[in-house]
Amino acid sequence: MHEDVTLDAKPPHDLLPYRLMTGKDDASFCRRISEALAMGYRLYGSPSCTFNGTDVIVAQAVVWPTVVEESTVDPTAHRV
């Protein structure tokens, strides 16, 4: 079920408009990303992962929608 939500210009709880979330690739990390999405953040770019010798470490950027709307930068553009 999708509910229409009116978003504020700024994220709630004094959170930053851009967040790079990192952690072990586990249910806790997925929960944090899911909570950010439920709050109104949007995924930004592709996820990234690495292996530290013990665990898979993942990263995913999220942005507040008003930041994306105001930005003129194309996140998929390749820089030379």
- The count of other CB atoms within 10 Å of the CB of residue 48 is 12
The Cα 45–Cα 66 span in angstroms is 16
pLDDT tens digits along 13-70: 899 999 999 999 999 999 999 999 999 999 999 999 999 999 999 999 999 998 766 6
Whether residue 2 has pLDDT greater than 60: no
Contact 24, 54 (CB under 8 A): no
75 vs 49, more confident: 49
